[in-house]
Amino acid sequence: MLSAADNELLTRVGPGTPCGEMMRRYWMPVAAVKELTDEKPIKRVKILGEKLVLFRDGKGQYGLVQERCPHRHVSLYFGFCEDDGLRCAYHGWKFDTQGNCIEQPYERPNSPLMKQAKIKSYPVKLMCGLIFAYLGPDPVPLLPNYEILTRRDGTRNIVLLPEHHCNWLQCQENSHDPTHTFWLHAKLFERALKKRPPEEAKKWAPDLAYFGRPIEGIDFELCREPGWTGIRKVRTYGGDKPEKEHGHPAIFPNILIAPQAKYLTIHFRVPMDDEYTMIYWVEFLATDDGSIVNQKDEDIPFEKMDHPLQPDGEYELHTFVYQDQMAWETQGAIADRTTELLGASDRGLVMYRDLLRQNIRKVQEGRDPDGVVRDPVVNEMISFTFSKGQANFAKEMAAAK
């Protein structure tokens, strides 16, 4: 269990909090490119306890600025996106993508009020159909070129999961828990699929077969590689097809690399505030022959999932996403770790919490936390090794039909 003080330390992410200041040292996705359209090139964003507005001006430049206009504090979300900036709908003050006030109707020319009206803005970058933001101090680090986002020998999909009503740590700790897959996914799947159309059972058969094997051993490895730090969890399966899988890493602080059937997927768990989390996935499907695919960022398919909680308080539980969301949300908005009972199978959580404490201290001492990338050579492409057992399982079952 944790002390109340430690639970506060690791979960609170607002401006000025120790964990929040550490998290601000990393680039995080705030939107998919396809979420901003010609009809509505603007989106509300809440990240690390800050209310912001993401917009695209008429020249195609993106800006991420504070939501409230400095004039009378009206939300800029309802403003007008123009060729050179975002104009407030209340009195017409206009701001460029850097937060500079560039027009103030009804005010004196060359008024000092123009400079005083500069608003908070954060740098954004586009990669792989996602818009990433950096909320930390200068110097700004490099946006990591993780292979899933930059490889060209395949195609990608982007998925925005339902907004999670729970603290980000509950989502990320799940990635250091190798045993939940047997009960939460395989066994809960079996029960949930009994109420679903028969074709769904066929669709999920490879996943049920893979995770339904008995888990006979688990292990954890702390990885410190150029470009990333993380914890790799490894399972040893028994049953008719025993296997010691190679494992896959959870990337510090809030990312998971996961082979999911035929896809290699990266999960970004982005804290909106202390009690809500936004999660983006990028699914990568490599070509069988290694051939290059020219998939433009704007052509990457984008899907937004609905929340699984039903009006009667029941959760839809026929997908991995919904099963995880039920488990994370029902712990409470912020899990009370002062009363938890950890066992030997939870040592991955203990390792991760220690890593969090270490990196919070690094930031407090004025150092970069683990995984912040500044070397362009390291950032040419950041690669990972991971288990291919689930993909092989799916192929074997498909071939057996």
Q: Does residue 27 belong to any structural domain of this protein?
A: no
Q: Which phi and psi (to 5°) does residue 138 adopt? A: -75, 155
pLDDT of 401 strictly over 60: no
Q: How far apart are the first and last CA of the chain?
A: 48
Considering the domain architecture, whether residues 179 and 302 belong to the same structural domain is answered as yes
**Mean pLDDT of all residues in the chain?**
94
pLDDT digits (tens, 9 = 90+) for 74-96: 999 999 999 999 999 999 999 99
Domain CATH number, residue 324: 3.90.380
Q: Using alpha carbons, select from 225, 272, 274, 273 the residue that is nearest to residue 251.
A: 225
Considering the domain architecture, whether residues 83 and 155 belong to the same structural domain is answered as no
Considering the domain architecture, whether residues 201 and 281 belong to the same structural domain is answered as yes
Mean pLDDT confidence for 175-200? 89
pLDDT at 202: 79
Final residue in a domain of this structure, among 107, 133, 159: 133
pLDDT over 90 for what percent of the chain?
85
Mean pLDDT confidence for 198-210? 81
pLDDT of 391 strictly over 80: no
pLDDT at 168: 98
pLDDT at 261: 82
Considering the domain architecture, whether residues 122 and 245 belong to the same structural domain is answered as no
Omega of the bond prior to 139 within 30 degrees of 0, cis?
A: yes
pLDDT of 53 strictly over 70: yes
- Residues of the domain holding 100: 38-133
Q: Does residue 228 belong to any structural domain of this protein?
A: yes
* Residue-wise DSSP of 162-203: PPBSS-HHHHHHHTT-SSHIIIIIIIHHHHHHTTS-HHHHHH
Q: Does residue 1 belong to any structural domain of this protein?
A: no
Final residue in a domain of this structure, among 111, 133, 155: 133
Q: Does residue 379 belong to any structural domain of this protein?
A: yes
Domain CATH number, residue 124: 2.102.10.10
Mean pLDDT confidence for 27-54? 98
pLDDT at 205: 80
Considering the domain architecture, whether residues 231 and 361 belong to the same structural domain is answered as yes
pLDDT digits (tens, 9 = 90+) for 252-296: 999 999 988 889 999 999 999 999 999 999 999 999 999 999 999
Considering the domain architecture, whether residues 176 and 103 belong to the same structural domain is answered as no
Q: Read off the pLDDT band of 208 (50, 70, 90).
A: confident
Q: Is the dihedral of CA 173, 177, 180, 185 positive or negative?
A: positive
Final residue in a domain of this structure, among 133, 159, 175: 133
Q: Read off the pLDDT band of 400 (50, 70, 90).
A: low
Sheet holding 124-127, edge to edge: 28-32, 130-133, 124-127
Considering the domain architecture, whether residues 262 and 325 belong to the same structural domain is answered as yes
Q: Does residue 66 belong to any structural domain of this protein?
A: yes
pLDDT at 197: 86
pLDDT at 162: 97
Q: Does residue 212 belong to any structural domain of this protein?
A: yes
Q: Read off the pLDDT band of 390 (50, 70, 90).
A: low
pLDDT digits (tens, 9 = 90+) for 94-138: 999 999 999 999 999 889 999 999 999 999 999 999 999 999 999
Q: Read off the pLDDT band of 193 (50, 70, 90).
A: confident
pTM of the model: 0.94
pLDDT at 387: 78
Considering the domain architecture, whether residues 162 and 125 belong to the same structural domain is answered as no
pLDDT of 397 strictly over 90: no
Q: How many domains does the chain have?
A: 2
Considering the domain architecture, whether residues 111 and 152 belong to the same structural domain is answered as no
Q: Read off the pLDDT band of 394 (50, 70, 90).
A: low
Considering the domain architecture, whether residues 345 and 233 belong to the same structural domain is answered as yes
Question: Which residues neighbour 344 within 8 Å (Cβ) at sequence distance 6 or greater?
Answer: none
Sheet holding 101-103, edge to edge: 80-82, 85-87, 94-95, 101-103
Q: Does residue 21 belong to any structural domain of this protein?
A: no
Q: Does residue 396 belong to any structural domain of this protein?
A: yes
pLDDT at 396: 60
pLDDT digits (tens, 9 = 90+) for 14-38: 999 999 999 999 999 999 999 999 9
Considering the domain architecture, whether residues 101 and 177 belong to the same structural domain is answered as no
Considering the domain architecture, whether residues 307 and 375 belong to the same structural domain is answered as yes
Tell me the helix, strand and coil percentages in the chain, rounded to 5.
30, 30, 45
